[in-house]
Structure 1
Amino acid sequence: MQFSLWLALVGAGTLISFTPGAGAIFTMSNSLNSGFRRSIWGILGQQLALVIHIVIVALGVGVLVSNSPLIFNIIRYAGAAYLVYLGIRQFLHKPDLDKEKVDDRRDEPALSMFQRGVWVNLLNPKAIVFFLAFMPQFIRPDQPLLQQYVVLTATVLAIDIMVMWFFFALAARSFQRFTHNEHGQKVLNRIFGCLFVAVGILLAVIH
């Protein structure tokens, strides 16, 4: 991949990663509940989902999904339902100032956070359609394809990890002062719960 083309990829990938969405909300929620450092596990789960999306598009399955309203809608509504479920669970979560229970919540197994991250991004067929439109702009068919896909994937993942961890996860730390009392916890739970539900509804209704 030419350096100028790679720079364009970096610019486009950065703008895309900074666009608020389910992944950003999920990352901020994890940072609040489990801490900045441990939020990386959810972020890594999201990256695995992105790799799967890229592979799907590279293999041509993305064309099938984008051209089949039934398949697309099944995945779209499943993803929307999962986000709404996460939002309702967050909204109804009772404030808890018991230090031991708070520590338990902060000690959620890394695998659990990783799996939730995978599902948040995987159940988003729009990502497949997006990569279907995005990737061809940076792939040159007259050059070795595998090398180009590796560079594209590594670049997109590196950018997304940095933006999610060093921007959205860090941004959540500014809300931590609200977690020290019951009212603050309730407000944050309802805010993030509503955000999850809102993104889920948008995913379901916006075509």
Structure 2
Amino acid sequence: MSIQHINNCCGCVRLKAGVLILSILWLIEGLLYSVTSILSLISRDYIDFTDMPDSFHHNRSFFILPAVVYVLITIGAVFGLIAVTRVSIQWLPKYSKVAYGIAGAEVVVHVYLIILTIVQKTSIIEECENYIKATNPQFGYACNQGYNYGLTFSIAYAVVVILLSMYFALVVSAYSYKAREETEVVETKEQAE
């Protein structure tokens, strides 16, 4: 799909409004994951809503890269909001590059987390079994099953997020291209008069 053929976002929203919405979504995602990752890094007792085993809470490697990446995504989204609301033609091509950077960052962080989850499978399952044996020993088998479900969900979630981020980057590029094209047409008409 060529960016020249993208005329609206998600099939029904004008490009400018779509880019504004996408930027807000990236901002929300960036803020949410930044805060969660940073809180997990600074507090051993951070309460996670998913009630994961301690290996996730105490293993800082699960949170360092995502914290950095999502802070950068937040900054990129703020830049995008400024670029779109100011309607500065000079800023839009830069935001287009930032959008591709955000999509690339999503790929990096999700692949990293999946690889880390696979590499640390043994410790994750051991932590889970220790936790379950202390509370309810008859359900020790559930840890392996839970790990497999969790990994499958993580992969599916990563695929969806990565594909959406790539599409969002294409929409931002299309908006940048169309805005630049419209500006050139207006300037050409003004020069002809």
TM-score exceeds 0.5: no
Please report the TM-score for the alignment, with normalisation by the length of structure 2. Answer: 0.36
RCO higher in 1 or 2 (8 Å CA, sep ≥ 6)?
1
Give the structure with higher Rg (CA): 2
Please report the TM-score for the alignment, with normalisation by the length of structure 1. Answer: 0.34
